[in-house]
Every structure is written in structure tokens, then in C-alpha cells.
Amino acid sequence: MEETGYSGMELFGPQQRWKTLIHAEDRYKLLEAENKVLRGLSTQVEIRLKHPEQGFKWFAARLRPLKDQEGNVTQIAAHFVDINGFKQKEEQLRKMAYYDELTSLPNRKMLHVHLQKVLAKSQRHQHTFAVMFIDIDDFKQVNDTLGHEAGDQLLKLIARRMEASIRQEDIVARLAGDEFVAVFEEVSQEEVKNIAQRLIRSVSAPYQIKEQKTKISLTIGVSFYPNHGEDLFTLLDRADQAMYIAKKKGKNRFELYDDKLMQELKESGKLLEQFLHYFRREYRKP
């Protein structure tokens, strides 16, 4: 028990101190394990325990029952193995798989996992949600003028401003290059409009890059489930369509998807150009 900083009696004695030391998210796991041991079975569970000096650490708790001559469980024998280093490496690998290396935002893979969960939840509870397609305007000019290192620095700053502009329960992911997607659960059109305006104001404020001030703007398209689509591919597509229209109207603005948008494209003769634009989108790749 030395690894934990406590004795077995301190943790599992009459005061049951483990209940105050274990991470709130792991209490149910150890409670289930304790009940299993009290029924006479040995078990193992991974938990976070608050070390007296090192804060919360991960341990593999191996628990077995100690019985009297009549076979009744009288005590719990516990052995804790420090697995904190392993868990930290596991978390690093998870971040590499699901988070963008440059901006630390969720990546395309995490976005699709999240969208699938949001879609299933919305279908089950008949809730609406919004998909926001965000494109940085003329970002290539920054790379060409200040260099790719400055461009990377700018993307990091943009990502932080985006995170600060959305609600805590929502996510914004980096899709590819200078393209981002945000997802908003149980949200009204008015709320999304306010968030879009807030994003545009925040991201459009000046930046200090390489001792030079630079400005950037963004263009946003939004689609809503289920009004604009009932599957993720359609919702992403239509948010992209709305963003495309916003670009054609002058950039640094947002548009909500509307069936009339496609009619506008047809009438302006831009339909083929738009289809090619969609085809190049990386989220269409398998």
C-alpha cells in the first residue's frame, strides 16, 4: 500500500476512507468491486486515488476477500499497483489519435465520433442540433506573406479564440488546413446566429505575429438537424453549401442553409463550380 501513501486499514478500515480519497468519477467502480469482494470473489479495478503528496494517481487495485473459519468475509485484502505512467502514455496516444497536433482541437476522427453520438442522442430525444462549417478567409496570403511558421502560430491563436467564443458544452474541431467545424446541441437559430457573430468578431480582431499586426476574417455556414438533413453527410454538406454562399456574398459573414440557396446557384450559373468545391472537401474521403 506504500504506493498510495496510506495503509490498508486507513483505506478499507471502519472509516472507509477510500470513499473520500477516490476520484469522483471512479467511486462507482470501486464500490462495485468492494461489493463483489464481500460476496467472496476476488477482483481488480483501475481507479484514481488522491495521494497525500502527489495528487490524483492511477492505480490497479487488486482486491480479495479474507474469510473466517465459517467462510464469512471479515476483511478485504488490497494490493495497489501504480499504473500512472502507463495511463499518461495511454492518454498521449489518445490525444494523438483524436486531437489535432497543431491546435489541440478535436480532429476529423473525433468530430465524426462526436457527431455520431450527438445524432443518436438527438434522434432518441427528438432534439435539434446545429453543424457550423467555418472557413478562414484568404489564409494562404498569411502563409505567403509571413511564412508557414507564422501561419501555424496564427492557427493556434484562432483556435483559442474559437474555443472561447462557443458554449462550454459544444465543440469546435479542425477539419483540415484552415477549415473548422463546430457542433451545437439543443440550440435555437437565434442562439447560433449570436454565436456566429461572436466568432466573427473575435477571430477578426487583430493579431500580433512576428512583431507584425495582421488581421484575418472567417466565413460560416450552418445547417440544422433535422430540418436540413437527417444524416451527418447531408448536414456537413449543407453547412458547406451555406458557407459557400456566404463566401460569394462577400466573406466575413455567416449564412444559414436554405433550399433557396441552391436555386440562387443555379440561376447564377455557379452550380458546377460549387459541386467541384464540395468534391474536393476532405471529409468526403473514405
Q: What is the DSSP letter of 178?
A: T
259 catalytic? Reply is no
Instruction: Check 100, 135, 170, 178 and give the catalytic one.
Output: 178
Output DSSP code: residue 251: S
Report d(CA 40, CA 73) in Å as an integer: 6
- What are the cell numbers at 142? 498569411
The contacts found for 192-199 with CB under 8 angstroms, 24 or more apart, are: 192/130, 192/132, 192/222, 192/224, 192/256, 193/254, 193/256, 195/132, 195/165, 195/166, 195/167, 196/132, 196/220, 196/222, 196/254, 197/254, 198/165, 199/134, 199/161, 199/162, 199/165, 199/166
Residue type, 190: E
Q: How is residue 203 annotated by DSSP?
A: H
Rounded distance between C-alpha atoms, residue 249 and residue 253, angstroms = 8
Q: What phi and psi, each to the nearest 5 degrees, are found at residue 254?
A: -130, 155
Question: For the purposes of burial, counting CB atoms within 10 Å of the CB of 63, is it exposed (0-12), middle (13-18) or buried (19 or more)?
Answer: buried
Output the nine-digit C-alpha cell for 253.
Answer: 459573414
**194-205 core/surface letters (b: 16 or more CB in 10 A; e: else):** ebbeebbeebee
| Residue carrying C-alpha cell 468526403 | 284
Radius of gyration of the chain (CA): 26
Point out the residues that are catalytic.
Answer: 178
